[in-house]
Amino acid sequence: MVEYNAPIRDYEFLYNEVLDAIPTAQRLGFVDFDAEFLSMLMEGWAEHTTEVWLPINQLGDIEGLKFEDGTIKMPQEFKDAYREGIEGGWMSTSCKPEHGGMGVPVFFQSVTWAEFGTAANMAMSVLPALSVGVYEVLTEHGDQELIDYFATNLASGEWSGTMCLTEPHAGTDLGIITTKAEPQEDGTYRVSGTKTFITYGEHDMTDNIVHLVLAKTPGAPESTKGITLFLVPKFLPAEWESGGVEALSQELMATHNGVTCSGSEEKMGLHASPTCVMNFDESIGWRVGELHEGMSLMFQMMNRERVATGMMGIGLAEIAYQNALAWARERRQGRDLKGMQDPNERADNILVHPDVRRMLLEAKVNNEGCRALAAWTGLLLDQMSSEDPEEAEYANALISLFTPIVKAHFTDLGCETASTCMQVMGGAGYCSEFGVEQFYRDVRISRIWEGTNGIQALDLTGRKITQNMGKNLRHLMWPLTEFIEENRDIPEMSEFNKPLHQGVRGLQHLTLLLIAEGQANPHFLAAGATDYCRYFGNILLAYMWARMARVALESVGDPFYDAKIASARFFFKRIFPETVGLAAKIQAGHKPMMEYPEAMM
């Protein structure tokens, strides 16, 4: 039986003691948002996901979905659970009150909501996450008539949304897409083309599906500079007649809009999450944003989805850890190498074995470190909209840096942790009965979604660290160096502060090396990108663990805080040292791989 306890206490610690999230949110305009309301939200959402979503997770994996004659039918239990979430208002916590949302800060939806939902049922959680992304792009960049017509139903979850980028011949290289959008006299466009790997592109969970589609208009520039973003619904008003935006006056959506599904992929995991081939046949659409600015708008949604994907890594890693630990507490095999611990039993509990503890503690400590960085990232997402230009600049700079790291590092660790937790459980971990093998199969896509982790690493090294003349990195170095200096003379912090200081200095040196050598030979930069991204991720986790240890030292003697100190110690002694090896690989450069004879591979 799979179990899950949402880490509410951990988030309360992070939001209220480490990050000061409530005062920040109130200063940003969420005046009625307090710690009590946040705890109530977390408890309510945790109860919903564990009682409604979790019990059908394995069912969805086993039963999957049914694709027949261009339609996808979801398990009835999924439809019922989704409807219950709509009725409880859980699909729209961060949407605006005027559209029926709760209007809470972004950090709750993008971080805590995402982790709890993903852990309980990743296949289910993807649908509302995408819909909120479409809602945000529409409300920020769409014409008011479009907002008036689509926003409320997207916010509530009555309608769902997708983003349609990839084509059969164009994945990462979106500049070569062939989907076309022909302008019409009434201001609409006729969109035609095929998109692949579209999550929830077709299903029967909602009454309508609203697609954000990248396409090119006649005469558009080559490459990504000629791409425009269009909103294309599956259904139009019942009595649709050409009339532009003004014609969107009917409440009933019944006229099919030439949007069809020609296939659903058979996948390793996420069996209850449709992955579709979508065809647009002169489908009516509306431009969102300006002509040829589609990539920047779609990247706004994609970057938010990259954070959401990173949270999938944490969510699946956490539930895998919890179930592996529960199993380990009951499992007896062998004897403690220092002598038997339970002479009245035929064997000792496997937690006496150092290697079992190593695996479980790596999972626990990486999960909690990633959660802390995620909470900080979520708060920065709110600060990006600050009316204080300095605060907004600071937040935007850090989000630029953090997004590829959150996506890549969290999902790398999520996959590693799910695999490790299977290993803890031995043969039982490989069996479907215990659930952990499903978590591994489900989380594996997270390293590929929203741009592979190799692409994230290239984005970090090739763009984000040099962006704005290096301002992004300078904005990060200020709080890091200030924290190190503030804690330099505190004896209890020495075991955390010294390695953090060394790691930050190493990050600075490696960054300068990549930039200098990369200018002469881009292969040098690209060869070290993935290792640099992981190095950077470890530095950020080290900073978060040092911050958590600093807070916990004020409450020594309380088991929760003592565990935080012990976890910080484990991180710096057992996980952080991998940065030494990563630095060596970065410095080795590109020659060992690029000069390797292709014929001998």
**CA angle 445-7-397, nearest 5°?**
65
Q: Mind giving me the DSSP string for 276-287?
A: EEEEEEEEEEEE
Residue 56 CA neighbour count, 13 Å, CB half: 23
Please count the other Cβ atoms lying within 10 Å of the Cβ belonging to residue 76: 11
Q: Do 514 and 392 touch, CB atoms closer than 8 A?
A: no
Nearest to 465 by CA among 410, 537, 542, 398: 398
Active site residue 450: yes
Structure tokens at 552: 């916990």
Q: Which helix (H) or strand (E) holds 83?
A: helix 76-87
Give the position of tokens 């990248």: 214
Q: Do 233 and 212 touch, CB atoms closer than 8 A?
A: no
Q: Do 168 and 347 touch, CB atoms closer than 8 A?
A: no
What are the Cα distances from residue 432, in Å, to 58, 206, 427?
9, 30, 10
Please count the other Cβ atoms lying within 10 Å of the Cβ belonging to residue 293: 16
What whole-number distance in Å separates Cα of residue 588 and Cα of residue 299? 33
Give the position of tokens 């011949």: 169
Strand 159-164 with 208-216, pairing: parallel
Select which of 450, 485, 495, 517 is catalytic. 450
What whole-number distance in Å separates Cα of residue 523 and Cα of residue 530? 13
Active site residues: 450
